[in-house]
Structure 1
Amino acid sequence: MAAVRAVVYFGLLLSLKRVPLPVSASSTGEDKECRTGEIPEFPTFLQMGLNLQSLGEDDGGHSSAMLSKVRTGKAPCPSLFPDCVSLPQICENSSPNMFRLGRANAAGSANNPDNLVLDLTNVLANRAKVQVLVMALFKEGAYTDDQGLLAERATPLEDTSSTLLELRLSADGRSVDVYKPAMDLRTSDPQSVYALRAGVGNGLQASVPRLHCTSGTSGTSGTSGQERVIVDMSTLLELGFFVVDTSTLGFETTIIKAKDYPTNLDITVDYGPRVPLLRVGYTMVLLPEVPMAARENDDRLLYFDTQYRDKGSHRKQVRQKLSEAVDSHVSMIWRYNLRRLPDHTIRFYVDPSVPLRWRPYFKKGIEAWNEAFTLIERPAAVRAILPGDEDWPDDYDMSDVRFSAITWDVSEETLSMGIAKVDPRSGEILKCDVIMGDSWVKSYLDELEMEWVNFTNFLSKTPSVSVLMQQGLVEPGKTPLRRILELLQQGSADRKSRSFGFAAAYMQKRLPSNELQALLGSGLQEIVTHEVGHCLGLRHNFKGSLGVSQDCLRDFHCTALHGTTASVMDYVPVNLPRPGEALTHVWSPTIGEYDKLVIRYGYTHMQSPANDPGLEKVLEDVRRLAEGMQTCYDDDLYLGEDPSCLDYDLSADPLAYWEQQLDLYADVQRNLLEMSVAPRESYNLYGRAVHSILAGFLPEMGINAVYYLGGINNTYLHKYPDQSRRARQPMPADTQRRALAIILRILRPNSQGLLPPASNWPYLVNGNQLDGAIESVDLTDLVRRLRRLLLEEALRFERLLQVHKQENLLGPTEADAFPVSEFLSTLVYGVMSAGLDKITSDDERDLQRIFVQILSSKLPSDTEFIPAEVMTQLQYFRSFIHEMAEGALDRLPTTANGAEWSQCAAFNQTCTCTGLVRLRIENRSSSGLWSGTFKRCLPNDFMLNASDTDSPLSWCECLSLTKTDLDQREAQRLHVESLRHMLTSVVPGKV
């Protein structure tokens, strides 16, 4: 209703000529009411709408009809929120605060938004306009059993970069105009001001009518006789201060709390009519007239930044090209302004929602950053304030801009976030909140129980590839590798629990309660340090793990000094000792060397002007030091080129870490039944644990290894005369060979001990018995899916092109290359190592069949997109395996009474066969070979691609394999024959 009222007011005010606003005394005893000046030209209904005296009063039904809300019967503010009830009537509020909140009418309900008004007199007294930042977050979570979590406590509701508003008193003095200035386009060129203003518009959002106090009140108090500037708050609340989409919350509002402070105000509002109500906390802060001096961003030191285009012509800087001085691109890092903070200290308030047992670890995690600030002579720049501390504020509110809060949220996911609110004019961080999901402790405890270690929570952390494929999210060979990585790792915007293997280190060890709590606390401490780093302005650096050697990771004194990564802004797994080794730091206990360097760049010499040559010398020294460290951004992770940017790897030798993890998984499988299922627990816990390894962690590790094939290490280097490093460097050939060895190892999970022992197979069930659904775990299907995924990704055209590209980065005299020929030969020899001319296991035959099917599928199509040398290699190795098959058939004798193929079904019919089924397509000798009693005669069922014109010309044939005519030698011969058929089945004209 208020939104409609604002539009009506605005239109009418524009249509009226400017008239004086006489202040008349009331003779009705109502001289302490706030109302508008009496303007005879205004229509009657408009006077009633502007007359605050009518709010909450009976005036014959006219104004109550105009101002009625859908919600009725609003109760007074709860006693829990006395600030709302104690709001003074606005005309009696003589507070010196820049913003003054108050009630329009003493008789009106305090929680009725129509009765809440804002006095802007002090803030606009000496300025024609002011700039403010508006912030909004959910003050309470909202949960229903039928819909789940509708709102998570402390979740932000506005975009950090677009919350700046500008308030101006209109030219005629009758309204306060609200603008949302364009921040992506600005100008410091005086000659471009008019063009920019005309080109982008003024950003006017609304014009809020001005209300007035009558004479005889305290309406002139504190303003030297100047008339007050008062506006109705209901419009701003219903429109979400122009930064929150309230249409998704509901336009019916109830004020729960309202409080003003020297330079900011806080309002808590319930939005309806949906049930439960959604409680939102707004804070509006006055931005300083003079913004903080900005500091230039540098891509070697990873800060969050504010970017904009400075239109017009500018003075050329020393390091600029002439073109860069026109319409310049500006990037300013985010950082706190220590000079503006009390005691020059960044305070983080640990919210009362954080359990008491974890607060000391939160404090350590926060204040760990002082190690970096000590190097710039600010040893106490960061401080944690806990509930119960002497300086814990009585008026603490997590939505208040004065308090950067760390909250403990009830969340369905294991994650954490650090969210900064920034002055977009300068990059100054005004407030930053950290949201910690309470499921971190549950996640860790699921991996390390005091008495029973279990693996039952893995699927909630890493989605299995089989589930992703069943949902249609992953199609082997077709889904981009970048997308698979995103699905496997669930993105990297939020910090998530990924600490598999934690339990294995303690399989034979039960921890006392105090040791367990300390271990979990140290994990939470590392997460808090990471999120506070975001609050200080730092971005992720997923190459931080490369800065610590494996030897250091096994040395307690070394990790105490350097941490487990050169940057705590990396995502790293837990640092587990090898069997028999002493326990070192499981989580990083401190910030890394790179973190210290970044803090030095952002926070040193904050008082120096930007053009101070001494400052530039200090910053340039830091930039040069940064070039000696490895860095990468979030987006580098998914560009598909630089594997050293992967998250959740560990040490300067990530492949050694994964090799160690494979050894760990093999050890885990031997003990997993005992580890995952306690007495009187369901065996479905065992099935879930096995499923999580085979369909979750092994595929992820394999995909990461594929990422190294053709990998290129890209570095953010700048040009210097003494620069000896390269901006891009192929992964060493030996590193790529080791990555391929890891892939080959995962392709044979049974021989590598990565499958459960056969004695445990009778207990492999998976599901949720409480929901009445349970099924057996199909190990064969999981292994087949795993193989198909890894082989499709290793042989996809994009990967072959990547290997070819990195091969050509090296000069002709440089020998350390990993060519396509070596990649394919190693893969072919590795998969086909069991040979074809001797009896092999069903498992080996399955691996060979999947590989040959994928390899042969790469030849008939898209040849014009593949370089000739790559296609030549593919054709060569197809011919090589074909010759292997031909030779094997000559050396493999058949049974005396060999079975023959016979047609069993036409296209789209069902073949009933005890033995092997193959699909025949006209113009092809044969395609596919499958076992089974029933088989649908469709190309898709044989995992083949066939055109519509081919499909009706296909049929199925059966080879009866009964006990009397089948032996292992015959099965091997049929297997070899099927491989030969696959390799000779081509579409005419394509090859």
Structure 2
Amino acid sequence: MIKKVLVLGLCSALALGCKTSKTVTENAQQEDKKGDFKSYAKVITKDAITDSGLFTTHKVDDKVYFEIPDSLFNKDMLWVSRIAKAPSGYGGGYVNAGSKVNEQVVRWSKRGKNIDVKVMSFENKSDEESPINKSVKANNFEPILYSAAIETMKPDSSAYVIDVTNLFEDEVAAINAMDASARKRYKVKRLDKSRSYIEEVHAFPENVEVRHVMTYDAEEPPERGQASTISMLMNQSMILLPEDKMMPRIADYRVGWFTVGKYDYDSEALKSYDYEIIRRWRLEPKDVEAYKNGELVEPVKPIVYYLDPATPMRWRPYFKKGIEDWNKAFEAAGFKNAIIAKNPPTKEEDPDFSPEDVRYSVVRYVASTTRNAVGPSVTDPRTGEIIESDIIWYHNHLRSYRNRFMIEAGAQNPKARTLETPEEEIGEMMRMVIAHEVGHALGLPHNMKASAAYPTDSLRSAAFTQKYGLTPSIMDYARVNYVAQPEDKGVRYIRMMGPYDIYAINWGYRYLPEAESSKDEKESLDRWILEKAGDPIYEFGSGYGGRDPQSQRESLGKDQVKASEYGLANMKKVVPNLIDWTTKDGYGYDDLEEVYGELIKLWRGYLYHVVTNVGGVYETRKTADQEGVMYSPVSDDIQKEAVAFLNKNAFTTPNWLLDSEILDRIQSTGAVERIKQLQTRVLSNLLDEDRLMRMIENKQLHGNNYSVIALLEDLRSGIFTELYSGEKVDVYRRNLQRAYVDMSIGYINELEERNDIAGTDIIPLMRGELATLKSQINRMQYSTSDRLSRYHYKDLIARIDKAFSNK
């Protein structure tokens, strides 16, 4: 027994000695390690402004330091660069506060006595065990965005401190405000470091936010008063991405979603497999078994939007309804209470609440003259998971809807005949705008094809519009019912959520518990699409390309010609009332001028909706297992009807619009130039080269009878009506006729200079048309007794002769 005690005591003493020796050695090593750097107290002084969060941030005088924990090295973080404030007129007025400049995944890594920020890419992928994985990694080497020397260590050695001042005050291309095109446009010389600085730094549990001013010397800034200077406030967000990755859902272009592109090099095909995944929130049911049994189940983590504390109290109920309207769609996907709107918490309820904290998604109310609303979101590019979203509502967006309601519904709806739109109507508009922007933040892009699913005359029916709205999707641009006529009572004038939205949310968000991989989901996803195939209510079209007349911004109904006729009929009733509806005693005519100008733009939009039918091609998105073709040309009859409409409503002088009572109140001159620009733009759009080439191709491939020759003959008879009637040619028509001749000559010159073989058919077509026109002018020019009209015809002949003599 004594031996055992002695042995145990010896062993304990040896163990203690070993442990003590090891601790002393480690401490000595740490001291040596710290000895390589400055003292923590000398770098992070008592005057430092410190904020603790994902990183601890320190602001010491004009310097900013990041204190990066060991545990966060080599973790994926999303870096989002946004313009927080931009100068007036920047980007032609299309770049607003909140515009995203860049989004990239970064990792912070230690390299000797330095810390690097590496930019990671998840676009190209392969299995870790696959032989090709080595090649994927070798050919996707991570660039180093920034590197800094370690300044000091945290006293407990758990974090390293670096100076990041230069990261935000120098011009680092990956995060700065000014891209190459903007630098060229404004003739930017350099970033002026003396006028560039870090404004504020905040740390939150899952993100770090930095705001910094960047000032550039520029020879031609957006506005002259900016004194050869462009200053911008940038917001940099660095967000920790989840280690527990969401399973991606593979996109299908037949259902509209915002997506992330991928390239899979493990594909057995003789190429990389190119595919896309959709952007969506992570919604998983709390009770999977109940969900599988068809019960509505709450998600583990619902989508929560807080209202901005700056939101006026009167508008909060409408904002909240617009957010929670989406619960109807989520219920179709099996979830209840999936999206929740909350008032901003008080200091007592949540003293740490901040809209900048990535844990909170916020509907921000911005006091700005910008007339817009946007629904951006932050997405994990590895999986498509939406991490957070801030909807931005700019105060003056109300102004846009007020004006549009008056212009497009004033003839039919007495509530629209005032600039003080009743709260019930303007509130409903705001609700639907917020719902539209939330739709973007949920992952849905615009569906401009949706409105063409409804027969145009159905929009004049109270029963139909109250039940189905103006379009099957709130993601379409269909803001006000301009089709309804004054005699149509009880119709709905404001868009609302529709069946396509419910279908799309179910397709993107329904949880498939049996699927172990994204590929396992494809059979179910395809089946849901095929169940709706052939029904235009469930079709998707982006509206890009300008070829499909059924996929256009702001259009309503299947028949664009009829819809535009209805819209113009209403406008003609609105114009004589604009003075009464927009003016009040003691004030000027600013509102009258604004509304009148917007009315002209809407009129132009109606005309463009019709133009797209000419040489138009319908697109129906399909996959190889579906019958029928994807593209089919618009019929001859519809094209001919469209041109007849344009001759009547675009190229005939719009005397109804030229109301002298209005014009003499808002301008001393300019009416002639305004109509000239509008008509020539429509004509230029109609004679677009791509459109004419499609018509030539459709004639060859499909036997369409409405050819370019037929188009030019119809235009000549419509634009040069006075040549055959002998009537006087007014100033508006002279401008239009000159534009037609100059445009035709310009076509020939441009195509010949380009030596464009594909466009050579257009050259003889235009030459033949000009020769025919010259012949008819020579024969008919003296049928008018108006001297100015005859001089005008002689001028047209001289222009044609000059063009031909130069060849």
Name the TM-score class by shorter chain. Answer: 0.7 to 0.9
1:708 aligned onto 2:613: yes
Tell me by how many angstroms 1:378 deviates. 0.7
Residues 626 and 854 of structure 1: CA distance in aligned 2, closer, same or farther (over 3 Å): farther
1:244 aligned onto 2:175: yes
1:679-698 alignment, distance < 5 Å: 679-683=585-589, 686=592, 689-690=595-596, 692-694=598-600, 696-698=601-603
Distance 1:422 1:664 in 2: 44
Residues 652 and 700 of structure 1: CA distance in aligned 2, closer, same or farther (over 3 Å): closer
CA offsets 1:510-543 (integer angstroms, 9 cap, x no match): 6798x81111111111111111111111112111
Tell me by how many angstroms 1:334 deviates. 0.8
1:271-420 alignment, distance < 5 Å: 284-311=238-265, 314-316=266-268, 322-323=269-270, 326-339=271-284, 343-387=300-344, 393-420=350-377
Match of 1:727 in 2: 630
Distance 1:575 1:375 in 2: 27
Residues 633 and 21 of structure 1: CA distance in aligned 2, closer, same or farther (over 3 Å): farther
Contact 2:65 2:161 in 1 (8 A): no
1:355-754 alignment, distance < 5 Å: 355-387=312-344, 393-446=350-403, 500-506=407-413, 516-576=422-482, 577-589=484-496, 591-611=497-517, 615-625=521-531, 627-628=533-534, 629=536, 631=539, 634=542, 637=544, 639-683=545-589, 686=592, 689-690=595-596, 692-694=598-600, 696-720=601-625, 723-750=626-653, 753-754=655-656
Distance 1:551 1:601 in 2: 30
Contact 1:253 1:270 in 2 (8 A): yes
CA offsets 1:912-967 (integer angstroms, 9 cap, x no match): xxxxxxxxxxxxxxxxxxxxxxxxxxxxxxxxxxxxxxxxxxxxxxxxxxxxxxxx
CA offsets 1:366-423 (integer angstroms, 9 cap, x no match): 1111111111211321111222599974422112111111101123321111111111
Tell me by how many angstroms 1:561 deviates. 3.5
Contact 2:151 2:163 in 1 (8 A): no
Distance 1:158 1:849 in 2: 45
- Local SS of the residue matching 2:525: helix
Residues 564 and 691 of structure 1: CA distance in aligned 2, closer, same or farther (over 3 Å): closer
Residues 367 and 804 of structure 1: CA distance in aligned 2, closer, same or farther (over 3 Å): same
Letter in 2 for 1:791: L
Match of 1:165 in 2: 106
**Equivalent residue in structure 2 for 1:789, among 681, 690, 695:** 681
1:120 aligned onto 2:31: no
Distance 1:978 1:563 in 2: 53
- Local SS of the residue matching 1:408: strand
More helix by share: 2
CA offsets 1:725-750 (integer angstroms, 9 cap, x no match): 32101112232223212311234554
Contact 2:68 2:160 in 1 (8 A): yes
- Local SS of the residue matching 1:344: coil
Distance 2:797 2:236 in 1: 70
1:52 aligned onto 2:40: yes
Distance 1:505 1:593 in 2: 27
Q: Could you say what the CA RMSD is over the residues aligned between the two structures, in angstroms?
A: 4.4
Contact 1:306 1:332 in 2 (8 A): yes
Match of 1:497 in 2: none
Q: Any gaps of 5 or more consecutive residues in structure 2? A: 1-22, 178-190, 217-228, 287-298
- Local SS of the residue matching 1:434: strand
Percent identity of the aligned residues? 19
Residues 596 and 391 of structure 1: CA distance in aligned 2, closer, same or farther (over 3 Å): farther
Distance 1:558 1:972 in 2: 51
Match of 2:19 in 1: none
Distance 2:501 2:203 in 1: 40
1:186 aligned onto 2:135: no
Tell me by how many angstroms 1:192 deviates. 2.4
Distance 1:664 1:374 in 2: 39
Contact 1:699 1:786 in 2 (8 A): yes
Instruction: Return the index of the structure with the highest Cα Rg.
Output: 1
Distance 2:664 2:305 in 1: 48
Contact 1:137 1:399 in 2 (8 A): no
Distance 1:146 1:284 in 2: 26
Contact 1:367 1:382 in 2 (8 A): yes
Tell me by how many angstroms 1:23 deviates. 6.0
Tell me by how many angstroms 1:432 deviates. 1.4
Match of 1:764 in 2: 664
Distance 2:634 2:310 in 1: 47
Distance 1:270 1:856 in 2: 52
Residues 111 and 565 of structure 1: CA distance in aligned 2, closer, same or farther (over 3 Å): farther
1:883-962 alignment, distance < 5 Å: 883-888=775-780
Letter in 1 for 2:339: V
Contact 1:347 1:385 in 2 (8 A): yes
**Equivalent residue in structure 2 for 1:37, among 25, 31, 36:** 31
Letter in 1 for 2:613: Y
Distance 2:655 2:779 in 1: 32
Residues 725 and 394 of structure 1: CA distance in aligned 2, closer, same or farther (over 3 Å): farther
Contact 1:765 1:777 in 2 (8 A): no
Distance 2:743 2:372 in 1: 40
CA offsets 1:836-887 (integer angstroms, 9 cap, x no match): 4634353586278437634763786547757787666656654554454454
- Local SS of the residue matching 2:75: strand
Q: TM-score with structure 2 length normalisation?
A: 0.79
Match of 2:698 in 1: 806
Residues 605 and 386 of structure 1: CA distance in aligned 2, closer, same or farther (over 3 Å): same
1:114-153 alignment, distance < 5 Å: 118=67, 120-121=69-70, 123=71, 129-135=74-80
CA offsets 1:177-234 (integer angstroms, 9 cap, x no match): 53222333333263123333333324344365385455xxxx4xxxxxxx52343464
Residues 617 and 971 of structure 1: CA distance in aligned 2, closer, same or farther (over 3 Å): closer
Residues 168 and 540 of structure 1: CA distance in aligned 2, closer, same or farther (over 3 Å): same
Contact 1:422 1:429 in 2 (8 A): yes
Letter in 2 for 1:118: E
Match of 2:718 in 1: 830
Contact 1:111 1:254 in 2 (8 A): no
Match of 1:939 in 2: none
**Equivalent residue in structure 2 for 1:101, among 41, 49, 56:** 56
Tell me by how many angstroms 1:131 deviates. 1.9
Residues 626 and 794 of structure 1: CA distance in aligned 2, closer, same or farther (over 3 Å): same
Distance 1:159 1:748 in 2: 44
**Equivalent residue in structure 2 for 1:206, among 147, 150, 168:** 147
Q: Any gaps of 5 or more consecutive residues in structure 1? A: 1-19, 26-34, 59-73, 78-83, 88-96, 104-109, 220-226, 317-321, 454-499, 767-774, 893-967
